[in-house]
Amino acid sequence: MNNNEENTVFMEENDNGDEDYYHSEDEDNEEGGVNIRVEIEGDEEEDDDDDDEYVDENGDGEDDEDDDYYEDEPDDDDGAAIDIAQFLNAGVQPSRVHQLLALIQAFHGSAGYPVGYPSRRRPRTPSPPPEPDLERGNELLNSGEFGRVNSAYVPPRGNKRNVAGRLWMRELKPRSVNPLALGESILPSDPGKVVDEYEDSAYSGQYSEDGSLFATCDKDFKLRIYKTAGDKLICDRVIQGSPGRWTITDHNLSLDNHWLIYSSITPYVYLTRTAADAPKTHHQLDFSTGEGDGGLWSIRFSGDGREIVAGGRGRIYGKYFVYDIESRTVIHSVNAHTNDVNAVCFAEPTSSQVLFSGSDDRLVKVWDRRSMGTGANCSPSGVLVGHSEGITYVTSKGDNRYLASNGKDQKMLLWDLRKMYSGQDRKLPRIRDTGFDYRQGYYPGRRSYKVPGDCSVMTFQGHSVLKTLIRCHFSPVHSTGQRYLYTGSSDGKVYIYRLDGTLARTLDTCAAFQRYAKVDDPPSLIARDVSWHPYHPTIISSVGAWYTSHDVEGGIVQHSFTRNDGIESDQSEVSDTESRPTPPPRRRFRFAF
């Protein structure tokens, strides 16, 4: 290791892939070098110098009382810190030695960034994703639940028309054709443009329900609210968030656009107003229940704005909470999963009765508050099995039937609630635990691997889900009929998929930053979150530079439809003679003078 690099590397025995949870915040180690602290469970001898080997995470030389609240505090009898020589001579298990060697030999980035356990195997070339199931995808397209069913006239494969040509063809079609057909085929495109540059990584960014606002949050605990004017964004307010731990993990706008909530790796959610002239008051909402509650990874408003659902971690179980804003109380606190709950959402925008949760235990669960019970008797209405690794995000189509999830197995899955397992089913398929840490730079598993008992209806592959909790969404209902699913990716691109699993388009955010900064070496950015305007063909991606050191740390990139860009065509095959419909006979107009 280079002594000039200032890093602190932590070995945590209880590593469950929590994003940034074990990261050191000391990015300016004055002495330099690498500090390695190894804990051996069951070691009955205590080291009298434990206090001398204390690692100061904040770099201020003072003990952090709050850190003991959020970190799992080891008991004095649990272990002792020993040096490397004692560790190797202690006769420990070979697996512990491999873990130590992996830490020493692991590639690490800029100061203060952690390193997970790399695999002991040599990294292999990622296997290509399998061919999509076109037949099943066409069944979904023709079901009528994802926009219009294909019209009588379908252009030939690969025949792209500009806007003027498409409008002309629409005029020649029969009147029965839905005018929405034009909007469904217009997709955002490259080249993108950098709308705003941040001093730190952007964690999430979403349009409001009506598209009039766009809100973002970043690792620097800043929230920004933009007003939309056509395809332009105007920064209306910059909010300095209340101090938390490591980053703002999530934020959400209320449906009326008056309120904004945000969370961190703490059991607190903060509520503030969005208007530029509103008071700068941050109302603290306490989600702690006295059961060792930790950080919150995902939060969402209910449709009426009276409740908040949140997903996070507890001392033992992954939990989700339902909080009543008016009474300032936690209505439900459910030990929902055996690992962290990374994502939660309501099934419908107008109802708060049914909600979904996704966890690092590789399961998506469906909860109906009207029948799930209380306390220890609380059980989900259904379980969705299909991911082989932890789940990073869950999003609902809004019809109380379909939802999608992103997973660390590099897959996005589409689910139908009619195919879920019962929540009382004790014979759920067993999913093997691979021990994969998604914070490392590659996925060693086979992308063609299918979990036994997979109940998903469609699989989307091609993007990568590494280093952070990357999000996915359905395309807007008003302009596309929700015929596409799109997601961010750790390679800095936005992937837009058709319902049949084929790739419709990719948008490159790194190239946009390269043009913006006019540099030859673009930063290694990650598109963590993406948002499609509800009415316009515009996508904004929230990007950041994870585990790298570069002048550009993050920002938002806008991709809009351009006039000269080709329009997405339907995939049905037709002959060349059918490519252009027969024009209707001209009408004869008679004028009376």
| Burial of 3 (C-beta count, 10 Å sphere; 0-12/13-18/19+) | exposed
By C-alpha distance, which of 379, 458, 368, 457 is closest to 420? 457
Query: Which residue(s) pair with 443 in the sheet?
Result: none
Q: What local confidence, expressed as pLDDT, does residue 570 receive?
A: 46
DSSP 184: H
**Coil/strand/helix, residue 9:** strand
Examine the pLDDT at 207 and tell me if it is beyond 90: yes
- Residue predicted with more confidence, 254 or 25: 254
- Residue predicted with more confidence, 119 or 260: 260
pLDDT bin (cut points 50, 70, 90) of residue 433 is confident
pLDDT bin (cut points 50, 70, 90) of residue 267 is very high
Q: Which of 295-299, 365-369, 428-432, 539-543 has the lowest mean pLDDT?
A: 428-432
How far is CA 112 from each of CA 31, 84, 194, 406, 579, rounded to the nearest angstrom? 13, 21, 27, 28, 59
Residues 344/310, Cβ–Cβ less than 8 Å: yes
pLDDT tens digits, one per residue of 496-546: 999 999 999 999 998 888 877 655 555 678 999 999 999 999 999 999 987
- Stretch 106-118: mean pLDDT, rounded? 40
- CA-to-CA distance for 461 and 485, rounded, in angstroms? 11
CA dihedral of 269, 274, 276, 282, whole degrees rounded to 10: -20
pLDDT tens digits, one per residue of 347-382: 998 889 999 999 999 999 999 999 887 776 788 999
- Residue predicted with more confidence, 145 or 500: 500
pLDDT tens digits, one per residue of 456-466: 999 999 999 99
Range with top average pLDDT, 72-76, 174-178, 268-272, 442-446: 268-272
* Strand 6-10, strand 33-37: pairing: parallel
Six token digits for residue 26: 């000391």
- CA-to-CA distance for 74 and 38, rounded, in angstroms? 13
Global pTM?
A: 0.73
Domains assigned to the chain: 6-105 (no CATH), 134-432+451-560 (2.130.10.10)
pLDDT tens digits, one per residue of 131-143: 777 777 777 877 7
pLDDT bin (cut points 50, 70, 90) of residue 124 is low
Six token digits for residue 274: 């969005």
Q: What local confidence, expressed as pLDDT, does residue 564 receive?
A: 58
Task: Write out 389-433 in H/E/C secondary structure.
Answer: CCEEEEEECCCCCEEEEEECCCEEEEEEHHHCEECCCCCCCCCCC
**Coil/strand/helix, residue 434:** coil
pLDDT bin (cut points 50, 70, 90) of residue 345 is very high
- CA-to-CA distance for 245 and 22, rounded, in angstroms? 11
Residues 129/383, Cβ–Cβ less than 8 Å: no
DSSP 120: S
Instruction: List the beta strands (DSSP E) in 417-502.
Output: 421-422, 458-461, 472-474, 484-487, 493-498
* Residue 99 CB partners (closer than 8 Å, separation 6+): 11, 117
Rg (CA), the chain: 26
